Amino acid sequence: MLSQLIAWIIAIATAWGAFSIPLSPAWANPVQNKVQAQLVSEVKTIQPGTPFWVALHFKIRPGWHTYWQNPGDSGIRPTIDWSLPTGIKAGEIVWPHPERLPVEPLMNFGYKNEVYHLIEIVPNPDLSNNSPTTLRARASWLVCEVECIPEEATLDLTLPVSAKPPLPNESWTAAFDQTLQAVPKQLPWTAVVKMNAEQMELHVDIPNIRAGQIEKVTFFPYEDGVITNAAEQKVAFGDDGLTLSLERGYQTELDTLNGVLVIQEKLDGQTATQAFSIQAQAGTAAAPSNTASAEENTPLWQALLFALLGGVILNLMPCVFPVLSLKALSIARTAQQSPRQARLHGIAFSAGVLTSFVTLASLLIALRAIGQQIGWGFQLQSPVFVTLMTYILFAVGLSLSGVFMVGSSWMGIGQGLATKSGYTGEFFTGVFATVMATPCTAPFMATAVGVALTQSAPIAIAIFATLGFGLALPYLVLSFTPAWRRRLPKPGAWMETFQQLLAFPMYAAAAWLIWVLTQQTGTNGLAAALTGIIFISFAAWLHQKTGTLRSFRRRLGLLGALLALGAAITSASLIGSAPTPIQVNSGLAWEPYAVERLANLRSSGKPVFVNFTASWCISCMVNERVALDQPEVVAAFQEKGVTLLKADWTNRNSTITQALRTFGRSGVPLYVLYPSVTEKAEPIVLPQVLTTSVVQQALDKV
């Protein structure tokens, strides 16, 4: 009896001893040192042949810091000298991404407060599993506040060896998960770098990027002298990704940029930091083309000259030429006009053009000021705008062809010119000419506009005003020089033919815009635009037909025409919200999210996992790669028979916005696991930062 009791006690004590040894490794360096160091393991036992992670854990006194693999301008990274029993090997330190530690005027890269340096331990398959093994690490590091102190410690970690699969050490699981999150992953996009003597531009192709989500982008090089560590890193966002400007260091021969890119993304309620390892090949361009540096070198007078020339040449562009040439010819008709009247007409027209250009410039500047990254031509990025311009160009073409006569007085062909109200008419013709000019660009215009957008508001407006002046110049000159006016061909029947002929450049411009639209929205956009054009043609014909009828019918006809126009415009706005196709992940079959489908699945008792994501959400993408696409998670999903729904919020549709709101969220990512109805009814919401263990644990509850 007693011996049995003793045997039990011994057994329990041994078991307790075996399991408690790795639980809390002793801290080295008692409190008076700046860093408390310990060696911790993610597992409680070693299985021969199964690699596992240990970590050199630093708790750093507040205000002090230690260093990353590239310490930056000064400092030294921690090193480990291992004493390992035979049959066990240790890898190199795997570093979580650092932060920038400014030390005016220099910059270091390292860690504050706490850091886990990961090391992979590889035990041989033929390791004997009788006795516990001790891993000994002699770690030395530099810890600095302003002054630096080299410190070192000898750290031991003893773990039993067992043939069974290693048990995870729960007290450290969260720390290891978090650290693995912070370790750079391979960049899933292409990165290119353009270099000149002083600058580098790192461009990462991230399709559908939403810059508003991204708070900060930082680059940490692996080597010294690649960048000027302390220099500011400016990030710019474009259609297809982001561009980070880096100041070069003293290394002159570089063909790749190697380092870590850290992106901080704003999620609902928290900021997620993603670290990527980058090897960007150097592009061949000597000077980065997107920076302002090239344009800053253009002196102002040159920019203004280009603007003037660009404006003049704009007169010849197919969007503008028909309008303005007919306008010019109409002057010849006005023989009864006094020279003063002619001049005033010219000035009114120029005023209209100038006002429109200045308004456009102010709008551009205002949009930039509130944070939108745009350049000239931005309007052509919007399918809605492109469609509307197509309609306008087409309508003007119809007017020139004679289908309806509303536009005739704009060209000055009508009788309105001789009247006093002709001045306001001229003004609006100027506005109209500008509207027509917006889809077209002219040579020289691009440089001028490029310079304008880098300058302060008054200079930018001045450049745009000069552009408008250039556009108005030929007409203005004509209105001021009677001699030239007399040289213009005399009006006659030929004018009508000429007018009808000029409809065709208009149709050509409309056709080009439809091509642009098809590029943007595909065949759906094409169908919508063509339908809109049919509506416009109908509206035009209806308007013309009812023009000769009595008032009531006329009004009805006008109403019908406007309704048709409305339908055309509605179809234009439909183009803007074309849904993007959903990508199918390898290994997982995602169905598109739909409320009815979810309800069906739940009522049939199947567990459902809903992944609320967007193609511009970097954390979503990282979660998919790091957790959802991992084989163990895929297997777990299949084992539990979970149906996978993907709610793609790339274009922010309202169904998904509603669904997000029911969970109290206003953004992505959101991961919801609905258990099978036979068990708990409450859906399980997973955290915004996923790991395989988090997902697997959630699935265990299903």
Tell me: does residue 542 bind another protein (CB under 8 A).
no
Binding track over 19-38 against another protein, x by CB under 8 A: --------------------
CB of 325 to another protein, least distance (A): 19
Name the residue nearer to another protein (CB basis): 460 or 598: 460
* Alpha-carbon distances of 416 from 407, 423, 424, 471, rounded to whole Å: 12, 10, 11, 23
d(CA 612, CA 644): 11
**Binding residue for another protein, selected from 180, 206, 392, 673, defined by CB under 8 A:** 392
- Closer to another protein by Cβ: residue 51 or 63: 63
Residue 632-671 contact track with another protein, rule CB under 8 A, x = bound: ----------------------------------------
User: Residue 358 corresponds to which tokens in the numbers above?
Assistant: 């200045």
The H or E element containing residue 242 is: strand 241-247
Q: Stretches 245-253, 595-603, 626-634, 694-702: which one binds another protein (CB under 8 A)?
A: 245-253
Asked whether position 104 contacts another protein by CB under 8 A, the answer is yes
Q: How far is CA 578 from the centre of its chain?
A: 19
Asked whether position 560 contacts another protein by CB under 8 A, the answer is no
Tokens encoding 508: 């050509």
* 272 counts as binding another protein under rule CB under 8 A: no
What is the C-alpha end-to-end distance of the chain, expressed in Å? Answer: 46
Nearer to another protein, 159 or 209 (CB): 209
Helix (H) or strand (E) holding 454: helix 445-454
Interface with another protein (CB under 8 A), residue from 231, 457, 526, 534: 231
Nearer to another protein by Cβ, of 230 and 677: the residue is 230
Radius of gyration of the chain (CA): 35
List 59, 100, 112, 606, residue binding another protein (CB under 8 A): 100
- The single residue among 131, 281, 289, 381 that binds another protein, judged by CB under 8 A, is 381
User: Quick check: 294 binds another protein (CB under 8 A)?
Assistant: no
Site string for another protein, 466-505 (x = CB under 8 A): ----------------------------------------
Quick one: which of 78, 96, 166, 249 contacts another protein (CB under 8 A)? Answer: 249
367 binds another protein (CB under 8 A): yes
- Binding track, positions 171-210, relative to another protein; x by CB under 8 A: --------------------------xx----------xx
Distance CA 183, CA 160 (A): 28
Rounded Cα distance, 261 and 438, in Å: 39
Q: Is 74 in the site for another protein (CB under 8 A)?
A: yes
Neighbours of 18 (CB within 10 A): 15
Interface pick for another protein out of 84, 90, 93, 107 (rule CB under 8 A): 107
Can you give the length of the chain in residues?
702
Q: How far is the CB of 480 from another protein (least distance, A)?
A: 25
Using CB under 8 A as the binding criterion, the count of chain residues that bind another protein stands at: 90
**Interacting span for another protein (CB under 8 A) from 38-46, 101-109, 114-122, 182-190:** 101-109
| Tokens encoding 517 | 């639209």
- Enumerate residues 304-363 that contact another protein by CB under 8 A: 356, 359-360, 363
For position 374 contacting another protein by CB under 8 A, the verdict is yes
Q: Of 190, 206, 237, which Cα lies nearest the Cα of 615?
A: 206
Indicate whether 257 belongs to the interface with another protein (CB under 8 A).
no
Check if the beta carbon of residue 125 is closer than 8 Å to that of residue 10: no
Among 82, 237, 423, 663, binds another protein (CB under 8 A): 237
Per CB under 8 A, contacts with another protein among 399-458 are: 405-410, 414-416, 419, 421, 425, 428, 431-432, 435, 438
Taking the complex as a whole, the smallest distance from the CB of residue 243 to another protein amounts, in Å, to 9
Cross-strand pairs, 57: 38, 116
Strand partners, 136: 83, 156
Closer to another protein at the Cβ: 209 or 320? 209
d(CA 160, CA 8): 21
Contact of 342 with 331, CB cutoff 8 Å: yes
What six digits make up the tokens of 524?
């759906």
| Min separation Cβ 374 and another protein, Å | 5
133-172 positions binding another protein, by CB under 8 A: 140, 142, 144, 146-150
Q: Which residue has the tokens 């308004």?
A: 359
Question: Does residue 278 bind another protein (CB under 8 A)?
Answer: no
| b (16+ CB within 10 A) / e for 620-645 | bbbbbebbbebeebbebbeebebbbb
Residue 193: CB minimum distance to another protein, A: 16
- Give the residues across from 241 on adjacent strands: 205
Q: CA 393: distance to chain centroid?
A: 32
- In angstroms, what CA-CA distances link 159 with 156, 173, 179? 10, 16, 22
Residue of 354, 578, 367 whose CA lies nearest to 466: 354
**10/560 Cα distance (integer angstroms):** 97
